[in-house]
């Protein structure tokens, strides 16, 4: 199971782009990177998943460099409603080994 390291917290102003980086130095060849968002007292919500380079959906972008030892979740033009905890998970497609959520990054969006 690849260990991940994320900042504990981040602050951002409304309308700015926010980048949250996750380090996963011992990522394995068949590991994927998945990000979740969690609001207080709610279950986490799947945001985005990727293997390499860049993935974009209607919510966020995920940037993964060639060595895959880190990844960056990019949230464009954040609003107050983006205030949440963001979790980075790394694991393989086979087996239930990517189930370590850790403590995540608490993003606070300031008006």
Partner 1 sequence: DSGVTQTPKHLITATGQRVTLRCSPRSGDLSVYWYQQSLDQGLQFLIQYYNGEERAKGNILERFSAQQFPDLHSELNLSSLELGDSALYFCASSASGHGYEQYFGPGTRLTVT
Q: Which residues bind partner 1 (CB under 8 A)?
A: 32, 34, 36, 38, 41-46, 49, 87, 91-104
Interior angle at CA 80, CA 78 and CA 85, nearest 5: 80
In the complex, what is the shortest distance from the CB of residue 42 to partner 1, in angstroms, rounded to a whole number? 7
Nearer to partner 1, 38 or 61 (CB): 38
Nearer to partner 1, 16 or 56 (CB): 56
DSSP-assigned letter for residue 5: B
Nearest to 75 by CA among 16, 9, 10: 16
Nearer to partner 1, 7 or 44 (CB): 44
> H or E stretch including 52?
none
- Residue 10 and residue 43: Cα distance in Å, rounded? 21
In the complex, what is the shortest distance from the CB of residue 13 to partner 1, in angstroms, rounded to a whole number? 25
């Amino acid at each position: 199971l690849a260990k991940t390291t994320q900042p504990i917290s981040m602050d951002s102003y409304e309308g700015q782009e926010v980048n949250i980086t996750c380090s996963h130095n011992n990522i394995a060849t068949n590991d994927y990177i998945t990000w979740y968002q969690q609001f207080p007292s709610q279950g986490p919500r799947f945001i985005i998943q990727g293997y390499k380079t860049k993935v974009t959906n209607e919510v966020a972008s995920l940037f993964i460099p060639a060595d895959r030892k880190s990844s960056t979740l990019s949230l464009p033009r954040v609003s107050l409603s983006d205030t949440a905890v963001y979790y980075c998970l790394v694991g393989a497609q086979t087996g239930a080994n990517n189930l370590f959520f850790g403590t995540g990054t608490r993003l606070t969006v300031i008006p």
